[in-house]
Amino acid sequence: MNDAPRLLVLWCPDWPVVAAGAAAGTPPTSPAAVFSANRVVACSASARHHGVGRGMRRRDAQSRCPGLVVHQHDPDRDARLFEPVAAAVEAQAVGVEVVRPGLVAVPVDGAAGYFGGEAALAELLIDEAAARAGVECQVGVADGLFAATLAARRSALVPRGRAGEFLAPLSIGELNQPGDDRGELVDLLKRLGLRTLGAFAALAERDVAGRFPKDAITAHRLARGLSERPPLRRALPPDLAVTETFDEPLRRIDEAAFVAKTLGERFFAGLANHGLACTRLAIVAVTEAGEERVRVWRCAEPLTARSTADRVRWQCEGWLTAR
């Protein structure tokens, strides 16, 4: 039985390039690429047309495309400029979760029923993102975040219960999504002749557990169209909260990020003692005037104190920029 929730994913293609271009004021049609450690981490469609691709060295990329606009990788910028897109989606649907800058997920059932179906909801959110945030997006719907993300890249609405069939013919390389770090596993599966998600999904779960690295279990569930982890059957410990109170409101974003990292170290240590991990982070900010803002970040891998601090900083900057 499929335990994956029905989700709509809205994806902004090449978001790091879009955000960098918006910040620099370069024409959106220019061939452009974002570099980290002298390698391409994202590039525009026009750059790909000239042969530029992810992982390519800067010298090679510029030799293939002499007019290439070069941007430096800046996760803070990507997250800060994505807030208007998330807000546009949130204006029409509840339960919005930012997976990463450029990608948001929404539980689909309630909103689709209200707006007249999944196709109508998808069209509405695409129009909202264009009108309110000025960006072009694609939408996909499927059971589970992994399948819905790949559906968004193909602008597909996958019928309920058919995620496994949709995923089966896709390349095994799709397991290595940004932030997942499954490159070594994908290389191993390719060497073994498993070149599609369906071929990997066809393996027995006990064989995957016995013959592959630990992270292969999660990847195998995703390839089958299931959720990343089985439902939690045991009750959570009652007292895991950590708090800190301030006499005066925090004035700077770096102060909030530092507090988040400090509390995160204590909180995640408590989770680890109980064999638990956190993959969703709700960031709540209240101003001196009593205005409250909330944003949920969803992560493929368990959060750490550092990644928590990063998301707090990104979100606070996004709120301030949006205002």
Summarize pLDDT for 39-92 with one digit per residue, the tens: 999 999 999 999 999 999 999 999 999 999 999 999 999 999 999 999 999 999
Cα angle, residue 77 at apex, residues 33 and 137 outer, rounded to 5°? 65
- Among residues 55, 75, 95, which one ends one of the domains? 75
pLDDT tens column, 156-193:
999 999 999 999 999 999 998 877 778 899 999 999 99
Measure the CA–CA gap between 157 and 123, rounded to whole angstroms.
12
Residue 14, classed as helix, strand or coil, is coil
Q: What is the span of the domain harbouring residue 213? A: 168-223
CB contact at 8 A, 173 and 54:
no
The DSSP letter of residue 128 is H
The answer as to whether 175 is a domain residue is yes
* Averaged pLDDT for residues 132-144: 93
Cβ-based neighbours of 232, under 8 Å, separated by 6 or more = none
In the chain, the amino acid numbered 270 is G
The answer as to whether 111 is a domain residue is no
The answer as to whether 140 is a domain residue is no
Q: What percent of the chain is predicted at pLDDT more than 70?
A: 95
pLDDT at 13: 94
Residue whose pair of structure tokens reads 């339960």 in the numeric block: 95
Element (H, E) at 35: strand 32-36
CB contact at 8 A, 299 and 279:
yes
Query: Which is it for strands 39-43 and 138-143: parallel, antiparallel or unpaired?
Result: unpaired
**Which two structure tokens, joined as six digits, stand for 314?**
């990104």
Cβ-based neighbours of 309, under 8 Å, separated by 6 or more = 257, 258, 260, 261, 264
**Which two structure tokens, joined as six digits, stand for 162?**
């058919």
* Averaged pLDDT for residues 227-253: 75
Measure the CA–CA gap between 14 and 28, rounded to whole angstroms.
11
The answer as to whether 241 is a domain residue is no
pLDDT tens column, 264-314:
998 988 888 888 888 889 999 888 888 899 999 988 778 899 999 999 999
Q: What is the tally of structural domains in the chain? A: 3
Half-sphere exposure of 218 (CA within 13 A, CB side): 16
- Among residues 185, 205, 223, which one ends one of the domains? 223
pLDDT-wise least confident of 99-103, 207-211, 270-274? 270-274
- Among residues 42, 57, 75, which one ends one of the domains? 75
Half-sphere exposure of 143 (CA within 13 A, CB side): 20
CB contact at 8 A, 280 and 250:
no
The answer as to whether 148 is a domain residue is no
Measure the CA–CA gap between 203 and 198, rounded to whole angstroms.
9
Element (H, E) at 48: helix 45-49
The DSSP letter of residue 57 is B
CATH of the domain at 21: 3.40.1170.60
What's the order of all strands across the beta sheet hosting 39-43?
39-43, 32-36, 69-72
The answer as to whether 268 is a domain residue is yes
The answer as to whether 66 is a domain residue is yes
pTM of the model: 0.85
The answer as to whether 152 is a domain residue is no
Radius of gyration of the chain (CA): 21
